[in-house]
Amino acid sequence: MSNSQHNLKLAQGDTKALARAITIVENELQGYEDLLLNLTTAKYIPIIGITGPPGAGKSTLVNSLISVLLKRLKADSKGIGIISVDPSSPIHQGAILGDRLRMNEHFNDSRVFIRSLATRGALGGLSAKTIEITEVMRSYGFEYILVETVGVGQSEVEIAGLADVTLLVITPESGDDIQVMKSGVTEIADIFVVNKADRDGADEFAKNLNQILPIKYDRMDIKADVVKTVATKNEGTELLADKIDGQLKNHSPLKKGLLWAEKAYQLILKQKMKGIDKAKIKIEVEQELKKDAAFNIYRFIQKF
């Protein structure tokens, strides 16, 4: 099948074509660049990023949120796409697939497409191919695309550069308000989800968090939302879905431009770094050191 035929089947809602396209792009199989160049999207599909520390209940929250969003889909909707970025298996470098266990309620629903991506050593909480794969999923025409990160390193900042709405999932035990401020995510999170809100201190934590959140820099009348949820009991997710839709409606042209610029920057960076192998650099450095004790690293990197 040619890439043009593949992309046509993708736009027509062929889930097999979607799964195959993701595999081609993720593994850089033959023709993947041409496939990406010929992607078309009839309308703008929002990306909702879900991040937060391990143990905050992200996957359970996503499972509950999917149930709410499914009720709101139009009759002709192609459904919801889920990308769950899992840690890589140390054996086969594939995703561990923990999300499949926690989202089993929707696994066989034809309106829900779940794809696990492995980090494969990528820094932060996203896979190296997340940007490209979200664009493939956009061309399919989902009504929403949800991206759940591993929740480590710089994943909060990474997902903010990808998603139209970023949810930061935390718990009442996440620490005092000052620690939350220090983490640097108050500027990039659109919605703070205080999950496991049936625990002691949740009300006070959410109240204090709401008071210290700054007005968003690109919309002087908009602040981040704070929503309390108990994902295991499906409590608070209706309100969360309302807040997500509200954030999307208030989406400023400035933020959309910044999102596309960030994606372009990351893709250009990857293109420029293609062929740069750290192991080969190490060998070359060692060879240079043997030849010249007065090794100058700045002269060395000029060759790249």
pTM, to two decimals = 0.82
Name residues whose C-beta falls within 8 Å of residue 284's C-beta, 6 or more positions apart in sequence: 300
- Residues 67 and 81: their CA atoms lie apart, in Å, by 13
Distance CA 235, CA 187 (A): 26
Q: Please report, for residues 8, 16, 91, the alpha-carbon distance to residue 2 in angstroms, rounded to integers and kept in the order given.
A: 10, 15, 34
How far, CA to CA in Å, does 146 sit from each of 192, 237, 271, 280, 288?
16, 14, 26, 37, 47
Q: In the prediction, which pLDDT does 272 show?
A: 86
Q: Residue 171 and residue 188: Cα distance in Å, rounded?
A: 18
The residues, ordered by sequence, that sit 6+ positions from 162 with a Cβ below 8 Å of its Cβ are 47, 49, 126, 130, 131, 134, 147, 259, 262, 263
Q: Under a CB-based contact definition with an 8 Å cutoff, are residues 168 and 185 in contact?
A: yes
Secondary structure (DSSP) of 5-19: HHHHHHHTT-HHHHH
- CA 268/CA 274 separation, integer angstroms: 10
- The per-residue DSSP string of 188-208 comes to T-SEEEE-STTSTTHHHHHHH
10-residue stretch averages of pLDDT, the chain, 304 residues long: 68 86 92 90 87 87 95 91 70 44 69 81 61 92 90 61 89 66 66 94 89 62 86 96 92 76 86 85 91 86 84
pLDDT attached to residue 203: 94
pLDDT at 3 (0 to 100): 63
7: which 2 tokens?
Answer: 């992309």
Neighbours of 191 (CB within 10 A): 20
CA angle 275, 95, 141 (to 5 degrees): 85
**Residue keyed to tokens 């995510």:** 185
